[in-house]
Structure 1
Amino acid sequence: MPAYTQTDRLIQINSPLGKDVLLAISLHGKEGLSELYRFTVEAMTVRTATVAFDAVVGQPFCVALQMPDRKFRFFHGLCLQLLQGHSDNDFTYYQLEMVPKVWLLTKKAQSRIFQHITVPDILKKVFAGFDVEYQISGRFEPRDFCVQYRETDFNFACRLMEEEGIYYFFKHEVGKHTMVLANTPQAHPDVPGKTTVIYKHVFDGTALEQDYISDVTKVQGQTAGRFTLWDHTFELPHQHNDSDKALTESVSVGKVSHKLRVGDSSKLEIYDWPGEYAQRFDGVTASGGDAPAEIPKISPDSKRTVDLRMQAEAATAVRLQGSGFARQLIGGHKFTITTLPTDPHAVTIKCDGEYVLTSVRHAATVGAGNYLGSSRAETSYTNSFTALPSALPFRPQRTTPKPLVSGSQSAVVVGPPGEEIFTDKYGRIKVQFHWDREGKKDGDSSCWVRVAQLSAGRQWGAFSLPRVGQEVIIDFLEGDPDQPICVGCVFNPDQPQKYKLPDEKTKTYYRSNSSPGGDGYNEIRIEDKAGQEQMYIHAQKDMDERVRYDSKERVGMDRHLRVGFFLPNDHRGDASGESKKGNQYEEVAIDQHLKVWKNKDEQVGGDMKLLVGGGDGDGNLDVHVKKAKKELIDATSDLHVKQAVKEKFDATFDQHITGAVKEKYDSTLDLHVAGVVKEKFDADANLHIAGDQKEKVDGSVSLKAGQNIQEKAGQNYAMDAGMSVHIKAGMTLILEAGMQISLKVGGNFIDISPMGVAIQGTMVLINSGGAAGSGSGSNPAAPADAADAADAADAADAKPIKPKDADLSKTGSKSN
């Protein structure tokens, strides 16, 4: 078997099979800025050789292209696929597809979340394990929330690079290739070898030995003259966060200036919303603290973003297309074109200057006959390319689509360990998506997610905050996975509804859960079951009700109110049973009106105090009892009246006092009895008058004592009768005076004094004539006995009906 070698061949392949096992016969393919190169390499082996596919596919290999100076430039990559073709008498033919190693990321798709990290740092994570050189300049703000959602790692990286104006190209060495990430013209290296390439329009037949360009075409197209972006963040609710940028007027290449604003560019504007830059910033930290420096970053980032969009538009305005034989042209590298003064066509193009190669398509051939010594075998190399003036920054077009979430998703509310409710000042929550394999179900599992409410106004509306452990429904603004929003909550077997379904299907309720601990709840419940309709309200602790104006309540039947009473074994009562610790306070600013159509029972277990007055009224108490009034006081009764007391009884007044009666009047006592007054004392009666006593009886006065009557005056005692005074003693009548006793009738008298007895009369008869006078005698009428006062009927004990308890249900439980 003859030995074949690639030495001194135009193209040479070095594969894992060893030197010269595969013999290169052609290379075709394309490389460029922000694109994965792909080369098709045709090779052959001697017919008797065996090629192990698994030793080649997925393995790196290298193709060397010989330059005119006998040096080599290289194409290095992975073998994507290997095709075995036909065989002839001498060889078996193969075709190898070469791609960069990073192509493998097009076969790696996942969903994951990046938070508080810059795009360059995200790219470093995505491209970890690959040979990547970062030539990225400028400042990049960390993105608050960036999601790779159901897309390949490579598409995710490309999408971010297109958003940030970052592009990539490759550098090749023997046995190695490196991916270069860049965003400035300064990052482009020179092509290897000769950096200045001659543009020679006429092909002279010596192309294989000379590196020159044989054809150049200038391409210029219509572009928009202005780019405008608006964006929105809820933290700046009334701002457009807008920014705009006009197209660069022209770009210079060497001595030539290319005008970019042509045609109707000034009238053409690309306006886009949302600009997708405001969402990158959040005025609240991941833990819920304030981050006041973040929101002001939106404005400068909007200007940076619109600059990138306009630069991407400008990059399409003008370019060169060419072809030739310059083997040193590599995508992403820069070179200089120069024309020969003797070439009239080249001079007309006016393309002299420095350019960056945006794409290069290579075609190199070594005929199989070269290995057999055929004189007819041809060896050739040509290429075609596109180039951009190096002064014009290259920006990749935004061609990689951003994944859209086609519909809503469910997620679980999360928070730091031990937190039942985790939120920020805007009432946002954190969630764990079911597709997130890297999330730890903690406070860092997502960005802050806004929660849609039934109503939301300026300090008015409805508010209910999902809690840790609850399942929620997440929607996405414009389907953007970077902008989740919570639109509702759902029950599941771990977080079931309170009332068993379908048994309790007629209940509508809102029930909360005490936090922390989950040992209580507040609830509003509506029961719509026919015949059992009910409106139920439960307050776990306090219930405050405020009505600015009227409050009207109408109860068709009974109303029960219990204050401070709880059932036995209720955790709010004492261990012995019912708790009675509860007060009721009421305050009415003006009037209170109460009308009870039938009975009213009140029972006060302790003291009862009533104060009438002290407010805006007169302080009077009016009580009108249309029938009997009964009062029973088991102990003493004290009545203190500071002013006049007036009592009027239209019928009989009975008063029965079984004990002592004491009365004291600090002022006048007026007693007017229109009828008969009867008094009866079963024991002694004592009367002490500190001042004068005056009595007037319009009729007769009868006084009868069963035994003695004793009267004593401290000074004078005067008695005057209009007719007779009759004093009669059954046995002895003694009239005694310390100084004088006088009996006087007309001018006659008897005077007895310590000096003697003097009798003076017109006629004095002693033991002769005359007779003793007689009186009517004392016959006082016995007073009618006072009728005994009827005993007051005992007042009936108030027996108010015990109010029924409101429904009591078991308390709730924690969500997490």
Structure 2
Amino acid sequence: MARLGYSIKIDGVEDDTLVVRRFEGHESLSDSLFKGQPCYGFKYFIELATRQTDLTPDQVVDKMAELTLYRDDEVVQRVNGVVRNFTQGDIGHNYTFYSLTLVPALERLSLRQNSRLFQLKTVPEIISILLQEMGVTDYAFNVQRECAQREFCVQYRETDLELIHRLAAEEGLVYSFVHEEGKHTLLFTDGTSSLPSITNAIPYNALSGGTNDTPYVSHFNAHTQSDVSRTALQDYSFKKPSYQFAQSAEGTNMDYQLTDNYEHFDAPGRFKDDTSGKAFNSIRLEFLRRNAKTFTGKGNQPLMRAGYQFTLEEHLNDEMNSSYLLVAVSHQGEQPQALEEESGSGATTYSNQFKAIPSTVNWQATPQPKPQVDGPMIARVVGPEGEEIFCDKYGRVKVHFPWDRYSNADEQSSCWVRVSQGWAGPQYGTMAIPRIGHEVIVSFLNGDPDQPIITGRTYHATNTQPYVLPDNKTKTVLRTETHQGEGYNELSFEDQADSEKIFVHAQKDYEALVENDHTQVIHNDKHLTVDRHSYTQVKNNQHLTVKGESRNNITKDKTIDVTGSLHQKVTDKTIIDSGSEVHLKAGNKIVLDAGDELTISASGSFIKLDASGVTVVGSAINLNSGGSAGAGSGYGGLVAALPTSLEDVEALAETEGASVVASQTEVDSQLKSATVSSEQVEAVETASSSSSSAISVGQQIEALTGKDAVAETCSLGQDS
């Protein structure tokens, strides 16, 4: 008969101080429950006894310990871990009784809850960061599939261990432990083929009892159940809005069940490319079918541990003699003879119960619920030092959350975050990029902390409103701020009764482009002040009707250049008062036609024509007596400068950085060089394509022949 024995060592406690009375342990691939408590890979309850009466929790709790199993004085198994709790029990005549719980160092990560951001990291990299921060250095990744880098991954109000479980399950990573003397190594794998195997096959022996020289399996049961037969995941990416991110997969070896209707569909599937989607969908299917075919059993082989493969032999049903993966194992051991002085009796025993799956199947951990953000959050827009506006081609910005303790509140603080606009269409809508320092309201799509989106902006104590409140509570304001300069543009509305007003302020240029008609109706006065020059070009006809006075006050010269005819009609008087000279010049003839009287007067002499005849009066009257005609100054008018033009909005969208208007220097240069003689005056283009005006062709001809100006009547409806 083989002899069994157990011992325990605790860092800082002398060897052989404690003896093991009994233990009960549970191991699993990744996390599970054991006696209603969470089990993170393994958990052992160990009962101890010692002659030492002054052993304190300070000597034991949170220390490394190791339970060793012997068979014929040879070590056959070790359980290395951390003492999570320690309890003092009864005190006898010779012994004091204690109990402790042995868990992996990984469990320490369940004691730290945090909120933080990870950017451009793979899941193994994130897990490594968390483990190293907690001082867990004995770990390894044995994975076949390359995990994609995650642009943005948020740990939100969850423990480090909860985050590890969630991310590992998403990527199809399961963990187990390899125990060696003095340490236990955390092993992450993504498939059964990456897990270690027990070297020798384990025999099936249903009739054996007691302690046999060869460990065996005494019970082995096969379980089959119907499960999900097909999975389908779907998601969306704004970068490819027309592409349907959809993945589906079907299970195998399902002849025993219906397959058509057992579909598991989920959206969003939390993937943004087909490669990740295919992997996530396969992982989901493997999880949902992990219990389709399972095996449970009992035995006494201590080498059977969760995460190990084994081969069963000598089963009466030859189909059972195959390879399996242990996904959970419970261990029990008792050593009553260790306390002979306390009347302990009986042999040392060991047994286990286990759950396994075929080694051809991948076991997937249970997906963990992702933390849900209860509502919007406040954040601050951030960017590089010295910059005021920082965005990408999609108008996304970077933000810093108040709870983020790790970033420097700069352009590395977050991923690019989309910004909701008031209206968004293909090259139309509203666009207002949040600027660095602005406070914004961040919502999360489907409550997912990994999918932030800015849905609003708010003022605060230092970012205040453009007008003092509540004094200006009747104002509605859109005010911008000059980028890298001083000033602003503004459109504001005053809604106070009897003071209603629309105010527009352009810090530099003001441009308006109307593709068809522009109609203004002003029921009172209009005031226009131009500090420099004013340029107007009408490419077809211009009509001006003034029903009162018209006054022009020009402090310098005035030029009127008409390439056709100039018609003036005055009902009463035409009076021209020139301080120096009036020069009339005609290329052909000048006709002065007066109904009653015509007088030409200069220096006391005059010629008068009326109904009574022609009267010539002068100090001397010279007829064909030599002399010469007086000369005028001649024409010296200036050609009107044309206004600068606007480019079409479409052209602006296509030509980044294009200048919209000419510089004022160019306009001034054009104006100064426009002085020409009367013979050199060039016609200004007045012809244009047919107008859509409501004025008839006949009315336009009337206007051109000198009749009354034609005024087009328009009516403004109530609807805009």
TM-score grouping bracket, smaller chain normalisation: 0.7 to 0.9
Q: Tell me by how many angstroms 1:181 deviates.
A: 0.9
Aligned mates of 2:352, 2:276 — CA distance in 1 = 41
Aligned with 2:107: secondary structure?
helix
User: Could you say if the C-alpha distance between residues 378 and 67 of structure 1 is closer, same or farther in structure 2, counting changes exceeding 3 Å?
Assistant: closer
What is the match of residue 306 of structure 2? 331
Specify which of 24, 28, 31 is matched with residue 32 of structure 1: 28
* CA pair 375-680 structure 1, distance change in 2 beyond 3 A: closer
Letter in 1 for 2:355: T
> What pairs with 1:566-585 in structure 2 (closer than 5 Å)?
582-585=532-535
Residue 632 of structure 1 corresponds to which residue in structure 2? Answer: 577
AA aligned opposite 1:676: G
CA distance in 1, matches of 2:164, 2:209: 45
Letter matched to residue 103 of structure 1: E
Question: 1:680 is matched with which residue?
Answer: 617
Q: Does 1:396 align with 2:400?
A: no
- Of 586, 597, 617, the match for 2:547: 597
Residue 425 of structure 2 corresponds to 457
AA matched with 2:618:
F
Distance in 1 between the 2:571 and 2:337 partners?
A: 133
Paired residue secondary structure (2:554): coil
**CA distance in 1: counterparts of 2:200 and 2:611, whole angstroms:** 142
How far residue 374 of structure 1 moved from its aligned partner, in angstroms, is 4.8
- Counterpart among 14, 19, 26 of residue 15 in structure 2: 19
Aligned to 1:667: none
CA contact (8 A) 1:370 1:377 kept: no
SS at match of 1:104: helix
Contact 1:111 1:147 (8 Å CA) reproduced: yes
Worse-superposed segment, 18-27 or 637-646:
637-646
So what's the TM-score if we normalise by structure 2? Answer: 0.81
Residues in 1 aligned to 2:100 and 2:72: alpha-carbon distance in whole angstroms:
26
The 3-state SS of whatever aligns with 2:102 is: strand
Given candidates 434, 442, 456, the residue that maps to 2:402 is 434
SS in structure 1 of the partner of residue 47 of structure 2 = strand
Shift of 1:164: 0.4
Deviation at 1:531, TM superposition (A): 1.9
Among residues 227, 245, 269, which one is paired with 1:275 in the alignment? 269
Aligned residues of 2:297 and 2:355 also touching (Cα < 8 A): yes
- Aligned with residue 282 of structure 2, among 283, 307, 328: 307
Indicate the residue corresponding to 1:747 in structure 2: none
Of the candidates 504, 508, 512, which is equivalent to residue 541 of structure 1?
Answer: 508
The answer as to whether partners of 2:49 and 2:95 remain within 8 angstroms in 1 is yes
Aligned equivalents of 2:442 and 2:397: distance in 1?
11
Structure 2 distance, partners of 1:651, 1:591, is 36
The 2-side partners of 1:261 and 1:686 are apart by 134
Structure 1 residue 477: deviation in Å?
A: 0.3
Question: 2:345 maps to which residue?
Answer: 376
Deviation at 1:133, TM superposition (A): 1.4
CA contact (8 A) 1:210 1:325 kept: no
CA deviations on 1:559-583 (whole Å, 9 max, x unpaired) are 110112xxxxxxxxxxxxxxxxx21
Instruction: Find 1:165's aligned residue among 151, 172, 184.
Output: 172
- In the alignment, structure 1 residue 221 sits paired with structure 2 residue 221: no
The answer for the alignment partner of 1:195 in structure 2 is: 200
Q: Letter of the 1:40 partner, please give it.
A: F
- Change in CA separation of 1:657 and 1:317 when aligned onto 2, cut-off 3 Å: farther
**Larger-gyration structure (1/2):** 1
Report SS of the residue matched to 2:245: coil
Distance 1:636 1:261, change over 3 A: farther
Q: Quote how far apart the aligned CAs of 1:674 are.
A: 5.3
* Native 8 Å contact 1:224 1:266 kept in 2: no
Equivalent residue for 2:598?
A: 653
- The reply to whether residue 89 of structure 1 matches residue 93 of structure 2 is yes
Tell me by how many angstroms 1:626 deviates.
Answer: 2.2
Q: Aligned with 2:279: secondary structure?
A: helix
The one-letter amino acid of 1:639's match is L
Residues 157 and 60 of structure 1, relative CA distance in 2, 3 Å threshold: same
**Corresponding residue for residue 4 of structure 1:** none
> Which residue number corresponds to residue 425 of structure 1?
393
Contact 2:20 2:338 in 1 (8 A): no
Residue in 2 that maps onto 1:752: none
Contact 2:324 2:356 in 1 (8 A): yes
C-alpha displacement of 1:304:
2.1
Closer/same/farther in 2, CA of residues 375 and 588 from structure 1, 3 Å limit: closer
- Equivalent residue of 1:242, what SS? strand
User: What is the TM-score with the length of structure 1 in the denominator?
Assistant: 0.72
- Say yes or no: does 1:10 pair with 2:5: yes
Equivalents in 2 of 1:371, 1:416: separation in Å? Answer: 74
Deviation (angstroms), 1:526: 0.5
Q: Which residue of 2 aligns with 1:360?
A: 329
Alignment partner for residue 373 of structure 2, among 395, 398, 405? 405
Please state how far the C-alpha of 1:96 moved relative to its aligned partner. 0.2
C-alpha distance in structure 1 between counterparts of 2:379 and 2:605, whole Å: 84
> How far is 1:372 from its partner?
2.5
Aligned counterparts of 2:202 and 2:539: Cα–Cα separation in 1? 100
Distance (Å, rounded) in 1 between the aligned partners of 2:573 and 2:141? 105
Q: Helix, strand or coil: the match of 2:440?
A: strand
Report the equivalent of 1:140.
147
Cα drift, residue 634 of structure 1: 2.2
| Residue 520 of structure 1 pairs with residue 456 of structure 2 | no
Following superposition, the deviation at residue 196 of structure 1 comes to 1.1
Structure 2 distance, partners of 1:168, 1:53, is: 30
CA positional deviation for 1:215: 0.4
Q: Is the 8 A contact 1:45 1:92 kept in 2?
A: yes
- Find the residue that maps to 1:678 and give its secondary structure: strand
Which runs of structure 2 are paired with 1:691-710 in the superposition (5 Å)?
Answer: none
Identical-residue share of aligned pairs (%): 32
1:230-245 to structure 2, matched below 5 A, reads 230-245=234-249
1:386 to 340, 350, 355: 355
Coordinate RMSD, CA, aligned: 2.2
Structure 2: 5+ residue stretches without partners: 32-39, 628-720
2:163 partner amino acid: F
Whether contact under 8 Å (2:598, 2:609) holds in the other structure is no
**Residues 47 and 100 in structure 2, CA contact (< 8 A), matched pair in contact too:** yes
CA 1:674 to 1:633, structure 2 compared with 1: closer, same or farther past 3 Å?
A: same
State the alpha-carbon separation in 2 of the partners of residues 110 and 550 from structure 1.
62
2:184 corresponds to which of 169, 177, 182: 177
Distance 2:84 2:334 in 1: 21
